[in-house]
A and B are shown apart, each in its own frame.
Chain A
Amino acid sequence: MRLTIPEEEIMSPGHLACQGCGAALAVRFVLKGLGRNTIMSIPACCCTVIDGPFPYTAYGVPIWHTAFETAASAASGIKAGLDVLGRKETTVLAWAGDGGTFDIGIQALSGAAERGDDMIYVCYDNEAYMNTGIQRSSATPYGAWTTTTPVKHPKNRPKKDIVAIMAAHRISYTATASIGYPEDLIKKVKKAKESEGTKFLHIIAPCPTGWRSRPDDTIKLAKLVVETNIFPLFEVENGEIWKLSKKSKGTPVIDYLKLQGRFRHLKEEDVQTIQMNVDKEYERLLKRCESA
Chain B
Amino acid sequence: MSEAKKIDWKGVDDMPEMAVSLSTMRVNKTASWRNLKPIIDYDKCKPCGICWKFCPEPAILLKEDGSPVIDYDYCKGCGICVEECPRKAITMHREER
Contacts and interface: CB of A to CB of B under 8 A. Distances in A.
Interface of A: 1, 3-5, 7, 9, 11-17, 19-22, 24-25, 28, 51-52, 54-58, 60, 63, 182, 208, 214-220
Contacts of A3: 49, 53, 62, 66
Given A5-B53, A13-B59, A218-B78, A55 B25 contact: no
Contacts of B23: 55-57
Nearest to B79: A216
Interface string B19-45: 111111111111001000000000000
Contacts of A219: 54, 80, 83-84
Contact of A216 (B48, B49, B74, B80): B80
B57 interface: yes
Nearest to B74: A13
Given A14-B29, A56-B23, A20 B49 contact: no
The list of the 6 closest CB pairs from A to B, nearest first, reads: A216-B79, A1-B66, A13-B74, A14-B25, A57-B21, A20-B78
B78 A19 contact: yes
Given A13-B71, A13-B74, A56-B21, A1 B29 contact: no
21 contacts: A1-B47, A5-B53, A9-B58, A14-B74, A19-B33, A19-B77, A20-B80, A51-B25, A55-B16, A55-B23, A56-B7, A56-B22, A56-B23, A56-B25, A57-B21, A58-B24, A58-B25, A214-B79, A216-B82, A218-B56, A219-B83
B56 A56 contact: no
A58 B59 CA distance: 13
Nearest to A215: B78
B19 to A, nearest CB: 4
Contact of A13 (B21, B26, B78): B26
A17 B76 CA distance: 10
Main secondary structure on chain B at its contact with chain A? loop
Contacts of B20: 54-55
Interface of B: 7, 16, 19-30, 33, 47-49, 53-54, 56-59, 62, 65-66, 71, 73-74, 76-80, 82-84
A215 B58 CA distance: 15
A117 B62 CA distance: 39
Nearest to A52: B25
Contacts of B57: 13-15, 17, 24
Contact of B49 (A1, A13, A22, A63): A1
Contact of A55 (B19, B53, B59, B82): B19
Given A13-B58, A28-B58, A216 B78 contact: yes
Contact of B56 (A25, A52, A63, A220): A25
A75 B97 CA distance: 45
Given A19-B77, A25-B54, 7 more contacts: A14-B28, A20-B79, A22-B56, A28-B58, A56-B21, A58-B25, A215-B78
Interface centre among B20, B25, B29, B80 (most CB of A within 10 A): B25
A54 B28 contact: no
Contacts of B56: 17, 20-22, 24-25, 28, 218
A104 to B, nearest CB: 22
Contacts of A217: 83
B79 A13 contact: no
A14 B24 contact: yes
B3 to A, nearest CB: 8
A57 B66 contact: no
B79 to A, nearest CB: 3
Contacts of A15: 25, 28, 30, 57
